[in-house]
Amino acid sequence: MVQDSLFNKKFPGIRNETNNRILSKILVLPIGIIIFIYLAIVILPVTAMIRYSGIYNILEMFYIKDNISSIILTFYTSSISLLMTFVFGTTIAFYLRTIKNKNLSKLISIIIELPIVLPPAAVGVALLLTFGNNGVIGKLLNQIGIEIVFTPIAVILAQFFVSSAYYVKVLSNSISDIPKEIFEVTYVLGAGRVETVFKVIMPMLKRTIISGLILSFIRSIGEFGATLMFAGNILNQTRTIPLQIYTYMQTDVKMATSFATILYILSFLLLFSVRVFLRDEIEVL
């Protein structure tokens, strides 16, 4: 006992390593169970959807006229929303870096990221009160003959409102990680701020920009709550893929499941492309 006590005092690192190994062996089983349960919760619903729908029914979804219309409308509105996200989101992300007041910067960041955590119904009500016929901006637009509610424009605004924050967050974090010396060197060499952003910084962050835009695009495609509240569920006008699934749920669960599976697969492929871009970026760095 005395010898063991002297040994532990003389070599505390060996004792700690031994204890860590014992603890690791004890935790192997509960950790494995937790991982298995988590993966089961995430994967089983998708496999259940595919099994319930059947490959034939999933493929048949592409031959239904209303489905094609909702797919085209979804990609059309999401593409415009994506363009708006790139223009406005890129500008605000770089602007956040120029703000010297940290409190102001944090406040603006919170406002930008707020749509991520807001309930979709709340977003829809807010948009309706702003761009509706009696809204702050909608009333002015009505006077010149522009109506937004229950039109594809409403879908685009709803998608942009809820998805642009993902892009701004990803891009602003990457901009913050760029050393200040890079900006200072370009200024010393005679480049202006705008030229530095377009010719130096944005090419450096092209993979981050693409990844952020894809994430935003995925969110736009899956937008449901705010679109339903603000744009309605009008075929060939505002009925996107999620709204078509919602419509099917009221009449045919199997068709709704089949179409939802298509959305799952599409989202998976887009997320996979994001992972490829991020992996390539890490390898380059």
Give the DSSP letter string of the chain: -HHHHHHHHH-HHHHHHHHHHHHHHHHHHHHHHHHHHHHHHHHHHHHHHHHHH-HHHHHHGGG-HHHHHHHHHHHHHHHHHHHHIIIIIHHHHHHHHH---HHHHHHHHHHHHHHHHS-HHHHHHHHHHHHSTTSTTHHHHHHTT---TTSHHHHHHHHHHHHHHHHHHHHHHHHHTS-HHHHHHHHHTT--HHHHIIIIIHHHTHHHHHHHHHHHHHHHHT--HHHHHHT---TTTT--HHHHHHHHHTT-HHHHHHHHHHHHHHHHHHHHHHHHHHHHHHHH-
Q: Which of 3-7, 85-89, 108-112 has the lowest mean pLDDT?
A: 3-7
CA-based torsion, 215, 120, 104, 156: positive or negative: positive
- List the chain domain ranges: 2-49, 65-284
Note the pLDDT of residue 246: 92
Average pLDDT, the chain: 83
Asked if 226 and 124 count as a contact pair (C-beta separation under 8 A), the reply is yes
Mean pLDDT of 88-109: 85
Burial class of residue 264, CB neighbours in 10 A (0-12, 13-18, 19+): middle
Q: pTM here?
A: 0.82
The answer to whether domain 65-284 has CATH 3.40.50.720 is no
Q: Please report the pLDDT score of residue 16 as a whole number.
A: 60
For residue 102, what pLDDT is reported?
78
Q: Select the highest-mean-pLDDT range: 13-17, 86-90, 264-268.
A: 86-90
Residue 187 or residue 264, greater confidence: 264
Kindly state the average pLDDT of the residues 37-64. Answer: 87
Q: Grade residue 203 by pLDDT with cuts at 50, 70 and 90.
A: confident
Query: Quick one: pLDDT at residue 280?
Result: 53
How sure is the predictor about 19, in pLDDT bands with cuts at 50, 70 and 90? low
Looking at mean pLDDT, say which of 44-53, 78-87, 181-190, 220-229 comes out highest. 78-87
pLDDT digits (tens, 9 = 90+) for 150-179: 999 999 999 999 999 999 988 988 888 877
% of the chain beyond a pLDDT of 70: 87
Residue 70 has what pLDDT? Answer: 93
The pLDDT > 90 percentage for the chain reads 25
Q: Considering only residues 198 and 215, tell me which one the structure prediction assigns the higher pLDDT.
A: 215
Task: Give the residue from 81, 99, 228 showing the smallest Cα distance to 165.
Answer: 81
Q: Residue 14 — very low, low, confident or very high, per pLDDT cuts 50/70/90?
A: low
pLDDT at residue number 15: 54
